[in-house]
Structure 1
Amino acid sequence: MRLTLTPHEMGIVRERLGREPNEVEWAVIDALWSEHCSYKSSRIYLRSFLSTAEGRRVVMGIEDWQDAGALDVGDGWIVVLKLESHNHPSAIDPFNGAATGVGGVIRDIISKGARPIALLDMIRVGDPRKERNRWLLRNIIRGIGFYGNSIGVPVIGGELSFDDSYEDNPLVDVAGVGVVRKDRIIPSVVREPGLRMVIVGLTGLDGLGGASFASRNLSGEDEIGAIQIADPFAGKIVLDATLAVADKVEAIKDLGGGGLAVAVTEMANGLGAVVDLDRVPLRVDGLSPMEILISETQERMLFAVREENVKDVCGEFEYYEYPCAEIGYFTDNGVIRFRYGGNEVASLPASLLLSPPLYTHEVRRPAGKPTAERLVIDIEEAVRGVVSHPDFVSKEWAYSQFDYEVGTSTVVKPGEADAAVISLPNGRLLAIKGDANPDLCAEDAYECGKSIVAESYRNLATVGARGIGIVDHLQFGDPRKPEVYYTFVEALRGIAEAARFFRTPVVGGKVSFYNENKDGRPIKPTPLVVMVGLVEGKFLRGRVEEGLNIVMLGLTRDELRGSFLSKLYGSFGEVPRVRLNEDLLASELVISGINQDRALFVKDVGRGGLVTALFPILVRGFGVEVRSGMIKSDSDDLLVKLFSETSGRFIVLTNEPEWFLGNKLGVVASVIGKVTRDSGILKIDDRAMDLGREVENYYNYLYRVMDGD
């Protein structure tokens, strides 16, 4: 049966139940207790994210850990956020793996009665010069575009990054944003017995055991059957019809990980249920009860409906000739019962299914990487090496395959700024950004956790927005490995601390373990956050002009370990220590400058340091002159000034530098140079570098490499 239950867990089941479960019951327990569905190795630590009392805007928080989060954005409107991944499926079938990841996020959004308005995709694969990685990336992008474009939800932003640790196990994260009136948000659980259970969609053989598949290491054998098949045209029907019947249902649940077994149990929320499996509409005849229960066929929803509304709910779907059936009802006895052909095939207490054993595994700090000698690195070689890396080239090859303007709400398009911006129904502007930093996490997971929250906050500030909430995804290897579990615990600690500091509560998210290559090497620890914020005045798309002063905000410190420079040249120096107050104050200064029209272009200084922050100016057809002596730093080393990834820093292009220099927030500020008409020329003191070839590479690299050039 390929159960992921351990012998210890099977013993607990037998003891609690007082008998030996049958084969169907073992499959149900395995799905509910899988890492993917139960969060049994992370739920104890996730309690540090408790968010209901952390912000006046929180409507649904991390307490509803299996569902989407929701934030109040004023005028009676709610923004619903969800972040999902399809890492294992995308490693086997990248097209359907990525496409069904999008579909799953969309269904999570509509489960709250919200209309999806935007998607972000965060993708990590191995070296794009290798054919298999190109095959993965090509089909991941096709899958995301296929689903998002077909259902009319724009993909407005994201990340695309490359690292050898993702060779066998790519990471495919999709975040969704939806909107709903505050008085029309729908719960995912029932609170009274007697409600009828209605399922829509056909159940097939695809996606069998997907939750268990996602809760173990990839083997490469006999896994294709666990991959769901995407059907965005059916997804569009489900989207429209679900929103049409939202006022006639009491609760909505997406049939995702664990299929019907998990959806029924979680919706019952401690109550009981009786389900007749032979009433479930099937795609193929002859499915066994177990297959019906744990299939993860896509484009299916479960509704809790009052008896008098069942006909109206099904009528909406039947108008589209989409299958809809009443399959059972909820009881007050706390027992989940599944029947088939008049016989009971499974009868399990909800308390057993919803109470898996929770674990805190052994932790051990990973052995530090050997510190390389502080090499003498040629400045020009380092500049060219960093800005030419695939992580920093234009991602137009990817986002041009997405319809990012469908729906007419996109204000700032992909590639235009550090964060995407969309308009909300109440006329306000919502900024969105996702961030991760695996290289820093491999060095210090705690500082990394703080850093990615701080960077997201700064990214939103560059367009004039203040962060209001977060969804996160914690992606690691096998949690039973002490070094892996240590990085998970430390990253979570850092995220929680920074989220509280910025008052951006974590309102939802996901944990994904067992992300390892086939030789047993875990991926680099990759916690990721997606932050949303509201523009509270003017927003900035950014423009560059000759003669503008370049003002740098923040102090540059001798912190090169875990930086992109150290990725290329060896690990040396100190890890950046995130000083959250500096991030906050510098962000406030930037937002104020935008609202007073004193900032024409803003870029935060993050991965790659000052060099990658300045490079977009060259990409826009201008040149840059920098006086290194004007960069406020605790080191005279030019490598530090150009490549340190100290947090809390921005570059601002302005005609009014004195306003920033005289700020009363205590933010360190200095004029470090100016914009010139010398296209592609980066001049540092007396050294002029013609980066015209690197600018051309910026635009062409992904197009060339994806063509096999």
Structure 2
Amino acid sequence: MTISLSSYELELIKKELKREPKEEELKVIDALWSEHCSYKSSKVFLRSLPSEGPNVVMGIEDWQDAGAVDIGDGYAIVMKVESHNHPSAIDPFNGAATGVGGIIRDIISKGARPIALLDMIRVGSLRHERNRWLLKGIISGIGFYGNSIGVPVVGGELSFDDSYTDNPLVDVACVGIVRKDKIIPSVVKKPGLKLVLAGLTGIDGLGGASFASRKLSGEDEIGAVQIADPFAGKIILDVTLEIADKVEAIKDLGGGGLAVAVTEMANGLGAIVNLDKVPLRVKGMKPEDIIISETQERMLYAVKDENVKEVCKAFEYYEYPCAVIGEIIEEPKIKFLYEGKEVVSLPSSLLLSPPIYVWDMKENGEQKTGEKPNVRIEDAIRSIVTSEDLVSKEWAYSQFDYEVGTSTVIKPGEADSSLLLLPNGKFLAIKGDANPDLCVEDSYECGKAIFAEAYRNLATVGARGAAAVDHLQFGDPKKPKVYAKFVEAIRGISEAARFFNIPIVGGKVSFYNENSKGEPIKPTPLIVMAGLSDKPFRPSIEEGLDIVLIGITRDEMRASLFTKIFGQYGKLPKARLSEDLISSEIVIQGIHEGKITYAKDISKGGLIGALWSIITKGYSVSISTDVITTAEDIYSKLFSENGGRFIVLTNDSQFFTKLAEKKGTIARVVGKVTKGSGIYIDSDYYDLSKEIDIYNNYLEARL
């Protein structure tokens, strides 16, 4: 196993300890101080994110495994997002599957029942064989774990870009539901509690946190990847929820294994752990391997002495290993013993106080832009609608069980956001959004834009955003241009979150995402937002409905799908958050008053991309570009991806034109839903039946 501690950090450790650290101790510190666990290169800037609000029950607090938000009637939702990028690049099946397992354990560690999963996947173009192998393994892994454990995968993203060829991004988000007064902390506040470990410890996942905190080397690092066992995960899920009222704290054994779980749970107090008591899958494991193993399907509980027997008895029913391995102590030291000898003895303060870094930053400068291309509208439309990002993802989500639990109202592929029925009768909308192409150009504008897009996506099913989590995925933070992009993305996200008054209750940072040539992935911050609605909504499309365009279309073409295909030119889209809010409120009101049958925000592919979602459901559309007077260029009218806009289908268009005027924006009838399989633009008709076949069969044909 490779230690990722720098020479500077090694000197800090020696100075603090006033002695040479043992090898076992270095491995413990390496796990706690890894970028994956400590956020040492990001913590300074993450503090700027708004994490508080009147409904926040548990926000971004030290060592809490997930955030929680009050949704009324005594309930709270619990949210978390994680990634398994590096493991999925080595072993896509187990990397993706254990990502699902880990995020589910984060949710149940709060005493919450998981009710929905989202997966956001980015791989290189399917022109390359290895990317096809990666995608098939990733989808199989997610389906294997989610379907087996009984948590529906209700939505996500699947997109393609060559910058992810060697370093796929596999993000998984989970939402759970819990009674507000039953939320369990991840940390303890007093000594004397017993440490109870459920599950077997093996030799898989050794050094996983360190592995995730450095560049992929191209060498065989399969031992750092954990092995998935969803059937054991189901036992952990069911028993944890059964015993939640008998424990004082719960901690998932994820990155860093026992080293991190014990230290973070102790929360500045100390702990003594007897490694001989740890149930092992493999005989003869070295003590340091027991400490840092990241074997899945394990959970650590802090339990009062009088409740230990009852906790372990619940696991004994399933013949699942459960053992008292140690105790929380007042002395602020983390101690691991093996065969009666002290293998590790380190101050809690040292482990929980890694050095904090702020790396050099360098402005990326003005991105290159060229002349407006001379492309026929017909050719542009056909290229846009057959791009990998806009083809049907049914091949992927059909492999997931998205209806288990019977609370799914809107299924994958039906709308811009998922919608679930909650126990209190309200409806939960959830969506994840990123825009790497915009982030390459301007990560500050990108940070604002992706937050606004998530908000708009929830509006398309009648929900208002209530809470968010973020995941910030970048290359090597020591590279000044990469670090500048990271910092600017946080600035944009923070500004948008404050504007919409939506707290960010958790998140993750993933650095060192690079390809084999040392080139960073496109900067990929991700927002997962949850929102609430009192009204159920099921989208539907009918012939004869008016197509109303809400919002202002601008001549802002850079960073769009059009310019990705035909060459960058023109102005960069600027996030105008007030326009996103106003247009979203119009859509929400339209849904709640029964005036909308279908709503789609305008993003990837512009107006054509939004209309394509109607055409692929078996209809034609006719539109007039003359009424889109806010943009002068025909390419902008059809393909601009500037924010603040929706199309809605309605049989009462005057409702929207009047409401928009009242709220200070624009809503205009731009066309109608008709029969057929194409699009009428002004006086021209484009038959897209061949493109529909490509849309429906692209992934299966490639894979």
Report the Cα distance in structure 2 between the residues aligned to 1:371 and 1:66, rounded to whole angstroms.
Answer: 45
Q: TM-score, normalised by structure 2?
A: 0.99
Q: Report the equivalent of 2:683.
A: 686
The counterpart of 2:657, out of the listed 645, 656, 661, is 661
Return the match for 1:644 from 629, 640, 643.
Answer: 640
CA contact (8 A) 1:517 1:523 kept: yes
2:668 matched residue in structure 1: 670
Q: Distance in 2 between matches of 1:416 and 1:627?
A: 26
Mapped partners of 2:18, 2:229: distance in 1: 43
Q: Per-residue deviation at 1:490? A: 0.6
- 1:277 equivalent to 2:275? Answer yes
* Aligned-partner SS, 1:433: strand
1:290 corresponds to which of 283, 288, 291? 288
**Which residue in 1 is equivalent to 2:204?**
206
CA distance in 2, matches of 1:123, 1:668: 35
Amino acid corresponding to residue 19 of structure 2 in structure 1 = R
Match in the other structure for 1:550: 547
The answer on whether the counterparts of 2:64 and 2:187 sit within 8 Å (CA) in structure 1 is: no
**What does 1:33-432 correspond to in 2, within 5 Å?**
33-52=33-52, 55-64=53-62, 67-432=65-430
Aligned-partner Cα distance in 1 for 2:525–2:621: 34
1:368, distance to aligned residue in structure 2 (A): 3.4
| Segment of structure 1 superposing worse, 355-364 or 544-553 | 544-553
For the residue of structure 2 that corresponds to 1:71, the secondary structure is: strand
SS, match of residue 112 in structure 1:
coil
CA displacement at 1:50 relative to structure 2: 3.9
SS in 2 for 1:253: strand
Q: CA contact under 8 A between 1:465 and 1:539: conserved in structure 2?
A: no
1:632 Cα offset (Å): 3.4
| 2:596 equivalent to 1:599 | yes
Cα gap change, 1:50 to 1:455, in 2 (>3 Å) = closer
**What is the root-mean-square deviation in Å for CA atoms of aligned residues?**
0.9
**Deviation, structure 1 residue 526:** 0.4
Pick which of 595-604 and 365-374 moved more. Answer: 365-374
| Alpha-carbon shift at residue 680 of structure 1 (Å) | 1.4
Q: Give deviations 1:148-198, integer Å, cap 9, x for gaps.
A: 000100000000000000000000000001111111110000000000000
Distance 1:335 1:64 in 2: 18
The CA deviation at 1:207 is: 0.2
- AA in 2 matched with 1:356: P
Query: Is contact 1:632-1:670 (8 Å) kept?
Result: no
Amino acid across the alignment from 1:371: T
Contact kept, 8 Å, 1:50 with 1:62, in 2: the verdict is no
CA distance in 1, matches of 2:229, 2:597: 44
Give runs of ≥4 in structure 1 deviating > 3 Å: none
1:281 and 1:121 mapped to 2: Cα distance?
A: 32
The 5 Å alignment of 1:563-578 reads 563-578=560-575
Match of 2:28 in 1: 28
Deviations 1:48-67 (A, max 9, x none): 11412xx2211111234652
Moved more, 347-356 or 635-644: 635-644
Query: CA offsets, 1:573-627, max 9 Å, x none?
Result: 1111000000001000111111111112111101110000011111122111111
Conserved? CA contact 1:65–1:509, under 8 Å: no
Q: Secondary structure at the match of 1:49?
A: coil
Check whether the contact 2:4–2:30 (CA below 8 A) recurs between aligned residues: yes
Question: 362-371 or 199-208: which moved more?
Answer: 362-371
Residue 516 (structure 1) aligned with residue 514 (structure 2): yes
Figure out how many residues of one structure are paired with residues of the other and give that number.
701
How far, CA to CA, are the matches of 1:128 and 1:89 in structure 2?
20
Say which SS state the counterpart of residue 48 (structure 2) adopts: helix
Offset, 1:333: 1.1
Q: So what's the TM-score if we normalise by structure 1? A: 0.98
Q: Percent of counterpart pairs with the same letter? A: 66
Partners in 2 of 1:338 and 1:184 — Cα distance? Answer: 32
1:562 to 552, 559, 563: 559
Q: Distance in 2 between matches of 1:496 and 1:367?
A: 22
Letter in 2 for 1:511: V
Conserved 8 A contact 1:539-1:594: no
What is the aligned partner in structure 1 of residue 434 from structure 2? 436
Q: Superposed, which structure 2 residues align to 1:466-477 within 5 Å?
A: 466-477=464-475
Q: Deviations along 1:228-277, whole A, 9 cap, x unmatched?
A: 00000000011101111111100000000000000000000000111111
Corresponding residue number in structure 2 for 1:10: 10
Tell me what 1:616 maps to.
613
Contact 1:462 1:540 in 2 (8 A): no
Contact 2:188/2:302, CA 8 A, preserved across alignment:
yes
Distance in 2 separating the partners of 1:8 and 1:529: 34
5+ residue gaps, structure 2: none
Post-superposition shift, 1:687?
Answer: 1.5
Structure 1 residue 521: deviation in Å? 0.6
Q: Which shows bigger deviation, 539-548 or 23-32?
A: 539-548
**Which whole-Å deviations, capped at 9, do the CAs of 1:108-158 have from their partners, x for residues lacking one?**
001000111110000000111221111111110100000000010000000
The code of the aligned residue for 2:580 comes to D
Q: Which amino acid in the other structure matches residue 527 of structure 1?
A: P
Three-state SS of the structure 2 residue aligned to 1:262 is: helix
Residue by residue, what CA displacement relative to the aligned partner does 1:391-436 show, whole Å, maximum 9, x if unpaired?
A: 1111110010011101111110000111001111111110000000
Could you report, residue by residue, the CA deviation over 1:506-531 in whole angstroms, capped at 9, with x for unpaired residues? Answer: 00010000000011010000000110
- Alpha-carbon deviation of 1:367? 3.7
CA distance in 2, matches of 1:150, 1:133: 26
Shift of 1:570: 1.2
Superposition deviation, residue 556 in structure 1: 0.7
**Counterpart residue number, 2:446:** 448
Supply the AA of the counterpart residue of 2:701.
R
200-209 or 592-601, which deviates more? 592-601
Q: Show the counterpart of 1:700.
A: 697
Distance 1:543 1:281 in 2: 54
Q: Give, in whole Å, the separation in 2 of the partners of 1:158 and 1:292.
A: 35
How far apart, CA to CA, are the structure 1 residues paired with 2:60 and 2:271? 26
What is the rounded CA distance, in whole Å, between the counterparts of 1:637 and 1:328 in structure 2? Answer: 69
CA distance, structure 1, for counterparts of residue 184 and residue 632 of structure 2: 58
Aligned-residue offset at 1:540: 2.8
Write the distance in 2 (CA, Å) between the matches of 1:594 and 1:308.
54
CA contact (8 A) 1:600 1:652 kept: yes
Which whole-Å CA distance do the structure 2 matches of 1:206 and 1:368 have between them? Answer: 46
Alignment check: 8 A CA contact 2:430 2:528 kept: yes
Report deviation, 1:675.
1.3
Q: Which runs of 5+ in 1 are unaligned?
A: none
1:673 counterpart SS class? strand
How far the C-alpha of 1:672 sits from its partner, in A, is 1.0
Report the AA paired with residue 700 of structure 1. N
Q: Deviations over 1:194-228 (max 9, x none)?
A: 00000010100000000000000001213100000
Is the contact made by 2:63 and 2:264 (CA closer than 8 Å) also made in structure 1? Answer: no
Give the match's secondary structure for 1:270: coil
